[in-house]
Amino acid sequence: MYTPEFQAQFVKNHLRPVLDSEHPGTKIIGFDHNKDHVARWANVLYGDDAARTAFDGIGVHWYGGLNTANLENTHAAAPEKFILGTEACNCPGVVYAAVDPSEWWQRAEHLGMDILQDLLHWCTGWVDWNLILDVTGGPNHLGNRCDANIIADPVMLHAVQTW
């Protein structure tokens, strides 16, 4: 488990020098976890001048709430650095099979609100964690089946194509 102090030292002293030498131009995203802790990490990662220059930005996940004040504080710690929404998915399970479509809409609203709030509070972009999954929430190597914005139903697709 990384602490912000360990990550700052590792990236500053080891990762950034190797990437600059062997893969110049590669961006390093620090933290990359839930927004409820991002401001504390930003203060440490950007608090040391050498570490600050080693990071290009910070990644955040949507778990734990909108936490817009934490995004504001992260931006204030280093206005020249980007903040990128890097992960969000609805778990457990897939609502595709749910009889009540209002559950689909509720999940869509939740996701949309998170994206909009991120963009309103200094995130420069947003990356979808699961762009497309099957009706069971897979494929998935861990078995923690989650939802996606696009659900592919190969059985239904085959039935439509042969109709």
61, containing H or E segment: strand 57-61
Query: What spatial distance separates the first Cα and last Cα of the chain, rounded to whole Å?
Result: 53
Question: Choosing from 5, 87, 103, 109, which is the catalytic residue?
Answer: 87
Annotated active-site residue 87? The verdict is: yes
Rounded distance between C-alpha atoms, residue 47 and residue 25, angstroms: 23
Instruction: Choose among 52, 39, 118, 119: nearest CA to 81.
Output: 52
Tokens encoding 79: 């206005």
Burial class of 31 by CB neighbour count within 10 A (0 to 12, 13 to 18, 19+): buried
What is the torsion angle, in degrees rounded to the nearest 10, for the CA atoms of residue 29, residue 34, residue 35 and residue 38?
-50
Q: Just list the catalytic residues.
A: 87
